[in-house]
Chain A
């Protein structure tokens, strides 16, 4: 039973990898990365059952946590071109970011002199 599930999840991971490398847009790739991480979590859990070592579930939990944070971080980076505080980015970078995503509020930030 676990062998069948492991093989199915492996095939699903391979198909997701295909979408990850062939995705035409960035968001296809982000979706594929998220899906691949979720499949990895399940695969680690199944592997723990297969080998009789349920300690693998701790690794699976850690992987689930990292997977979510990495997805949100990738999306935030490609939207604001900065991962940390967006208001503290250099002004040229802030302007280019505001022009790229057309957020009107970010361009008016320098009047207040940065957020602190």
Chain B
């Protein structure tokens, strides 16, 4: 029993500290990345990994009680709605015509999309190939 409680404590320590680490990393990436489309990546790291780890750690800290149930409900809700909100944001940005910055050596995925095809049919994106 004692060993189990020590194990529980250590595991919740690890989970909460790694969750805090991921949240911090995501926020730093949100500040320092150059582009909206790359900021999405940093935001998703903070939005799913950090949050889930933190809530798991807190639920392990609370033990089997109503608090753990509430934490699980909040964690499941955030786990569903976080990627949904991020997808909605990315979709709105894509429809509004925001395009990724191009690096120097990279060729554009759709070089003449904005000038030529946007008046005809903006929803059909041509030339997007991996």
How many residues in B have their beta carbons less than 8 Å from beta carbons of A? 50
Contacts of A38 in B (CB 8 A): 46-47, 51, 78, 82
Query: Interface on chain A toward B: helix, strand, loop, or mixed SS?
Result: helix
In the complex, what's the smallest C-beta–C-beta distance from A99 to chain B, in angstroms?
Answer: 11
CA distance A11 to B24 in the complex (A): 7
Contact of B95 among A1, A45, A67, A79 (CB under 8 A): A79
Contact of A75 among B17, B23, B78, B89 (CB under 8 A): B89
Question: Of all chain A residues, which has the CB nearest B61?
Answer: A49
CA distance A9 to B40 in the complex (A): 19
CA distance A32 to B46 in the complex (A): 11
Contacts of B93 in A (CB 8 A): 25, 27
Whether B92 pairs with A54 at a CB distance below 8 angstroms is no
Indicate if A106 sits at the interface (CB-CB under 8 A): no
Known: A31-B36, A54-B67, A57-B74. A12 touches B23 (CB 8 A): yes
Whether B26 pairs with A61 at a CB distance below 8 angstroms is no
Indicate if A42 sits at the interface (CB-CB under 8 A): yes
Contacts of A13 in B (CB 8 A): 27
CA distance A45 to B93 in the complex (A): 31
Indicate if A8 sits at the interface (CB-CB under 8 A): yes
Contact of B58 among A11, A31, A39, A46 (CB under 8 A): A46
Indicate if A30 sits at the interface (CB-CB under 8 A): yes
A-B contact pairs, 16 of them (CB 8 A): A2-B16, A5-B17, A5-B54, A8-B20, A12-B26, A12-B27, A28-B36, A34-B82, A35-B27, A38-B46, A38-B82, A41-B78, A46-B54, A60-B74, A68-B84, A71-B88
- The 9 A-B residue pairs with the shortest CB-CB distance in the complex, in nearest-first order: A12-B27, A8-B20, A15-B27, A27-B93, A68-B81, A5-B20, A57-B70, A71-B85, A54-B67
Binding site for B on A (CB under 8 A): 1-2, 4-5, 8-9, 11-13, 15-16, 18-19, 25, 27-28, 30-32, 34-35, 38-39, 41-42, 45-46, 49, 54, 57-58, 60-61, 64-65, 67-68, 71-72, 75, 78-79, 101-102
